[in-house]
């Protein structure tokens, strides 16, 4: 809008006008319809973005809270836009109640964003008729150096594009609403249909048809009228505002709308590229928060089959090779398997190992979107050491128990068979050449001594050997 709150000398005014009339060149070297470079700085939180258009700086912050629905539509959320001109932006801006310029700019942004349906308000409904999300976009003008409307529209679009509201769920039984924090469930982005961009044109009273786009603060003090055209990338006209004392031909307005269509597409494309770069950095920060800086720097982190979630903050090297910690852990596991193979070879042990392998395989195939909780390296090493020691103790105790049972059984069999062989040998000497068939038919009564004394001798010998085995 034309600035009457600042002063400019006659020489500067004449220089600006003559440069455009004779050379079609502006003071900063741009052409009549060239725009200044735009830079975006997102963060540090979601829904915050600072846009710098030349020397003009605007900060936009988006927030949301649950409120009862307003009006007759109980299944739609609401969105409001507030504009504040900071006193640091210009000496003529005062704190407190928004001035006339701030109210006019807020009206243009509300028409462009809210009334055109840029935000899907039905997606903001949590419980129809009771609770909906109320989205608030606060636009703060930090440096007023020309084309505040264009910078404010870009800042509002970038903040809405990067904002994420908390996920809310409703209990089907009690109808209670639970708002989940960001560390429990991933926040939900807003559903945006389009991104309206405001393009400002300035008309000079000195000559008909002398028009510039994206005027600076000095050019705003020279122009007589200003036209703000709000378009999206689909060539849809969202809002138009005209102010000033210079009469403009309708054909000039149509020409400015066509030029604004081209400029808005370029600015929207640049905004989407900057937002995509911010999303990549945001994902890296999330990975760094859960797994460490090395995992965030590795582009292959989290791919299927790597098992990165089993070893947070360590991972693999850039070339896919195993780190020294992983190699050492693998050698420990191989030694442990060899120890288990020495002490137990039964079918039950093999079944336990197969079940353990299946459990590990299922654990390795965690979905990519799920982030496992981060643990420090010391905690992981302690847990692995405790697990290995417990496995070794259990395997050794089972092997010792089985060895004792087998030794006791073999001892009893050996003692009894030895006594029977000795008795049979002695009886064979007494008979002097009796046939082997008759020896096999010998009865218990033919053994030396009676049955009670033989049983007592066997028990005494078995008890003696078991006592030695225990020692």
Residues 20-43: what's their mean pLDDT?
Answer: 92
Strands 131-143 and 78-85, by their bridges, are parallel
List beta partners, residue 67. 132
User: How confident is residue 350, by pLDDT bands cut at 50, 70 and 90?
Assistant: very low
List beta partners, residue 227. 201, 242
Count H helices, E strands: the chain?
11, 14
234 vs 375: which has the higher pLDDT: 234
Say if residues 224 and 204 touch (Cβ distance below 8 Å).
Answer: yes
The pTM for the full model equals 0.62
Q: What is the pLDDT of residues 191-201, one digit of tens each?
A: 999 999 999 99
Helix then strand then coil, in percent of the chain rounded to 5, is 45, 20, 35
Residue 304 CB coordination number (10 Å): 10
Residues 164-169: what's their mean pLDDT?
Answer: 92
- Asked if the model's pLDDT at residue 212 lies above 50, the reply is yes
Q: What is the pLDDT of residues 49-69, one digit of tens each?
A: 999 999 999 999 999 999 999
Say if residues 64 and 78 touch (Cβ distance below 8 Å).
Answer: no
At residue 243, the pLDDT reads 87
At residue 54, the pLDDT reads 93
Q: What φ, ψ does residue 426 adopt, rounded to 5°?
A: -65, -40
At residue 272, the pLDDT reads 95
Smallest CA-to-CA distance from 288 within 305, 269, 312 is with 312
Say if residues 121 and 164 touch (Cβ distance below 8 Å).
Answer: no
Q: What is the mean pLDDT of the chain?
A: 77
- Asked if the model's pLDDT at residue 185 lies above 60, the reply is yes
Q: Which domains does the chain have, with CATH numbers?
A: 10-285 (3.30.230.70)
At residue 94, the pLDDT reads 77
At residue 274, the pLDDT reads 95
At residue 302, the pLDDT reads 54
Q: What is the pLDDT of residues 107-154, one digit of tens each?
A: 999 999 999 999 999 999 999 889 999 999 999 999 999 999 999 999
Local structure of 286: helix, strand or coil: helix
Say if residues 226 and 2 touch (Cβ distance below 8 Å).
Answer: yes
The answer to which of 91-95, 325-329, 370-374 has the lowest mean pLDDT is: 370-374
């Amino acid at each position: 809008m034309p600035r009457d709150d600042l002063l400019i000398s006659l020489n500067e005014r004449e220089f600006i006008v003559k440069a455009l009339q004779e050379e079609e060149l502006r003071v900063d070297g741009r052409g009549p319809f060239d725009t200044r470079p735009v830079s975006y700085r997102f963060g540090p939180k979601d829904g915050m973005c600072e846009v710098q258009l030349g020397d003009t700086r605007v900060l936009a912050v988006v927030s949301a809270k649950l409120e009862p629905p307003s009006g007759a539509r109980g299944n739609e959320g609401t969105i409001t836009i507030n504009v504040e001109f900071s006193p640091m932006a210009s000496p003529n801006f005062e704190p407190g109640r928004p001035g006339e310029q701030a109210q006019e700019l807020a009206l243009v942004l509300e028409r462009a964003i809210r009334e055109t349906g840029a935000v899907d308000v039905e997606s903001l409904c949590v419980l129809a008729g009771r609770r909906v999300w109320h989205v608030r976009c606060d636009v703060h003008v930090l440096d007023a150096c020309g084309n505040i409307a264009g910078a404010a529209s870009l800042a509002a679009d970038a903040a809405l594009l990067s904002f994420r509201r908390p996920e809310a769920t409703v209990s089907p039984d009690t109808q209670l609403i639970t708002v989940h924090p960001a560390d429990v469930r991933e926040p939900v982005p807003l559903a945006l249909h389009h991104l309206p961009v405001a393009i400002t044109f300035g008309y000079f009273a000195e000559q008909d048809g002398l028009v510039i786009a994206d005027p600076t603060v000095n050019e705003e003090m020279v122009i007589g009228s200003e036209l703000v055209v709000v378009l999206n990338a689909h060539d849809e006209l969202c809002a138009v505002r005209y102010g000033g004392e210079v009469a403009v031909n309708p054909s000039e307005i149509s020409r400015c709308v066509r030029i604004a269509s081209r400029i808005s597409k370029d600015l929207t494309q640049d905004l989407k590229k900057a937002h995509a770069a911010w999303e990549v950095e945001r994902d890296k920060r999330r990975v760094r928060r859960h797994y460490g800086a090395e995992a965030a720097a590795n582009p292959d982190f989290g791919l299927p089959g790597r098992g990165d979630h089993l070893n947070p903050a360590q991972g693999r090297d850039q070339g896919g090779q195993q780190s020294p910690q992983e190699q050492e852990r693998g050698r420990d596991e191989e030694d442990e398997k060899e120890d288990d193979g020495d002490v137990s070879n039964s079918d039950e042990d093999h079944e336990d190992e197969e079940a353990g392998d299946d459990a590990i395989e299922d654990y390795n195939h965690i979905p990519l979107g799920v982030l496992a909780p981060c643990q420090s390296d010391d905690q992981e090493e302690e847990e692995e050491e405790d697990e290995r020691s417990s496995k070794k103790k259990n395997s050794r105790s089972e092997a010792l128990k089985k060895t004792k049972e087998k030794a006791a059984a073999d001892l009893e069999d050996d003692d009894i068979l030895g006594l029977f062989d000795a008795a049979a040998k002695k009886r064979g000497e007494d008979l002097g050449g009796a046939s082997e068939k008759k020896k096999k038919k010998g009865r218990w009564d033919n053994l030396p001594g009676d049955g009670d004394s033989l049983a007592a001798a066997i028990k005494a010998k078995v008890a003696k050997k078991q006592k030695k085995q225990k020692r």
